[in-house]
Amino acid sequence: MPGAKYAHEWAALDVALATEVAERTWAAVEQGRAQEALRLSEARLSLALQAGRMGSFEWTSESNRISLSAMSEEVLGLRPDTPIATSEAFFELVHPEDRDRHQAVFNQAGRTGEDFHSIFRIVRPHDGEVRWIEERGQGNPEPSLGGICLRGVHWDVTEAILTQQQLAGFNKELEQHVARRTHELQASHDLLQSVFDTNLIAMSVQEAVRDDNGAVLDFRLRLVSRELARATGRTDLVGKLYAQEYPGIREVGIFDLAMRTLETGEPQGMEYYYPYEGFDKWFACQFVKLGDGVVATNLDITERKTAEQERMKNLRLLEQAEAVAGLGSWDYELATSTMRWSDGMYQLFGWPLGQAVAPASYLEVVLAEDQARARQLVHRLASGTGDFEEILRLQVGGTVKTVRMKAVVFYDEQGLAVRVLGVDLDISELQRLELDNLHLRLRQQRALFEAVQAAQEAERKRMAESLHNGVGQILYATKLHLDRLYAPLLGTDPTLVAAHREADRLLGEAIRQTRALSHELVPMVLEEFGLAAALHDISTKLSTPQLRLHFLVELDDTPPRSPHRCKWLFTAWPRSWPKTSSGTPTGPPRPAWSWKPCPAGCSCGPKTTALASRRRRPCTTAWAYAAFVTR
């Protein structure tokens, strides 16, 4: 009926049919969705594979068939005319060295259905280039196919492998370099420790200790040498604070020196006396910056400083001695031809201190008379031919100085002369004193001689008086008594007459000889009548029948023009008597008289000796000229 409402009654078959249609419709809708999702997923996978240049493959164990994507053909370098359909054909692409290994991995996954991963090399067919391929796959059982299905992807990892190999090479080189550097550092450390332990210099490595603001508070000892441990008597210094252990370093300035080294980076050093912590020694220190610290060295120089002080003391004494004694010392190095003078040498020569000098400097001031000896001396000095001692006269300003030089040559181990050391002594005053002393001794000797001579003359006078007044008078009285003797027999006996005459003659001769001896002891003629009478008396006494002497005496107070102030008369007697042509002697030899200059010992000449002064008086009193005539 139109407009009427009613309920349709569904039969069971209708309900079942509707349900089936609905389920199938829903399944078709779901399948369409799934297919769309699969399509999208495959599109994304394909895009991802293309973006990563990765190829895909699928292999079934039942049929041993393998299918490759288009990208796989590009990755594997396949030619269009050489498709890959089986696993054996695929394994032919693998490099022979990697083929067995990769095939074992692939077959293991094909048997078990496990996931697999392999990296291997291939030889691309179209160009023969060797490329590295990385492959990952997953195995799934396929009941419908009756076997295992392997699906996976592979891609070219040649650049990554080469990079890894290069990186591995770099790592190996780095490891070798690190190992080498480690070895070198260890060797350096061992060498440094060896140097530290074997060096005679106390050394330490110190690190700066800073506060929160970066200010240096102290230095921590990081490494100490064995010598430092020995010198300090401490083996626990490593890790200690330097200034805390030895606060005296702040007092002597060592801490400030280390700070200056740390701040400027420039090495610093000093010599200092350290009287703290029981040391009481001289040290020489050096600081060198090392990172945020310093390397410190300390050397005990107490012995050298003591020697220097002693040397300076001796030098001052030498300078004082040179100033007092007029002495100078010098040093000449043969290798460098360098000559050095002491202050005393400059004072001796009257030259300013520091003026350049050489061996030839002596030639500039030596007197002309000593030039030849000076040149020989300079040659010996410059060549170092041996020790020498010489006296030179130098013209220093307006004064002539007499200088005694003495030099000693020093030789090296090969016996070659290397240095000449010498001293110059001004002996001008010494010579003057010696001359004054000589004159004094001569005057004393002359006074002594005159005293002795006066005593001798007095004794001779006494003896002469005794002979003349004693013996002479007795002889004379004897002769008078003999003459007065009256003996009548004397005229009758010829023998007695002859004896009387002979006795009278002998007494007269004795009286004459006594008087002559008395006159010889005391030359009364010279003393009472002068030189002329004495010379005439001598000529009379010396005259013989063969030789007549005649003296012409002229006295004058003016000395002659001869270089010498007097002349002596010399006599030369022949060794044998003169003979005739037949060899018969003609008589006794006659003396040969000759005038010769006054000897050097004469007091009137340029030189005077004590011997001459003792023998005769100066000739300047009178001048006598005698002419001897031989007849």
> What's the CATH number where 268 sits?
3.30.450.20
Query: Encoding tokens for residue 266?
Result: 């420039």
Establish if 281 belongs to a structural domain. Answer: yes
Task: Tell me the C-alpha distance between 466 and 472, whole Å.
Answer: 8
Statement to judge: residues 515 and 543 lie in one domain = no
Residue 523 C-alpha from the chain's centroid: 81
Whether 54 and 144 share a structural domain: yes
Which of 361, 340, 358 minimizes the C-alpha distance to 350? 361
Show the tokens assigned to 63: 């049929």
Q: 217 is written with which tokens?
A: 């508070």
What is the number of H-type helices and E-type strands within the chain?
Answer: 19, 17
Bridge partners (DSSP) listed for residue 132: 121
Domain count, the chain: 5
DSSP 59-125: EETTTTEEEE-HHHHHHHT--TT----BHHHHHTTB-HHHHHHHHHHHHHHHHH---EEEEEEEE-T
pLDDT < 50 regions, the chain:
1, 559-631
DSSP assignment of 537-570 equals HHHHHH--SS----------SSPPSSSSS-EEEE
Choosing from 383, 398, 420, the residue where a domain stops is: 420
> What pLDDT score does 231 carry?
87
In a domain, 471, yes or no: yes
DSSP structure class, residue 369: G
**130/102 Cα distance (integer angstroms):** 16
Q: Are residues 485 and 559 in the same domain?
A: no
Residue 484 lies in a domain: yes
Asked if 246 and 343 sit in the same domain, the reply is no
* Distance of alpha carbon 361 from alpha carbon 405, whole angstroms: 14
Query: What would the two tokens of residue 309 be?
Result: 């002080």
Q: Is 286 left (phi over 0), alpha (psi -120 to 50) or beta?
A: beta
Counting beta carbons within 10 angstroms of the beta carbon of residue 327, is it exposed (0 to 12), middle (13 to 18) or buried (19 or more)? Answer: buried
Model pLDDT, residue 629 = 38
Mark whether 495 and 450 lie in a shared domain.
yes
Is residue 185 included in any domain, yes or no?
Answer: no
Residue 162 inside a domain? The answer is no
Together in a domain, 534 and 515? no
- Kindly tell me the burial class for residue 61, based on how many C-beta atoms sit within 10 Å of its own C-beta (0-12, 13-18, 19 or more): buried
Strands 116-123 and 327-333: unpaired
User: Which pLDDT does position 625 carry in this prediction?
Assistant: 38
Long-range contacts of 116-123 (CB under 8 A, 24+ apart): 116/150, 116/152, 119/157, 119/161, 120/94, 120/95, 121/94, 121/95, 121/97, 122/76, 122/77, 122/93, 122/94, 122/95, 123/93, 123/95
315 is a domain residue: no
Residue 469 to residue 477: CA distance in whole angstroms: 11
**pLDDT value of residue 16:** 74
- DSSP code per residue over 248-270: HHHHHTHHHHHHHHHHH---EEE
Q: Does residue 23 sit within a domain?
A: no
Report the 10 Å Cβ neighbour count for 504: 13
Residue where a domain terminates, one of 372, 397, 420: 420
Judge residue 608's burial from the number of C-beta atoms within 10 Å of its C-beta, 0-12 exposed, 13-18 middle, 19 or more buried: middle
* Amino acid occupying residue 241: L
Where is the domain boundary, 396, 420, 444? Answer: 420
Report d(CA 602, CA 609) in Å as an integer. Answer: 7
Assess whether 398 and 464 both reside in one domain. no
In this structure, the answer to whether residues 454 and 381 fall within a common structural domain is no
The residue behind tokens 């001692």 is: 389
Structural domain for 273, as ranges:
199-300
Tell me, yes or no, whether 435 and 536 share the same domain.
Answer: no
Same domain, 296 and 384: no
- The count of other CB atoms within 10 Å of the CB of residue 365 is 19
Looking at the structure, tell me whether residues 353 and 380 fall in a common domain: yes
Task: Specify the pLDDT at position 42.
Answer: 56
111 shares a domain with 51: yes
Does residue 10 lie within any of the structural domains? no
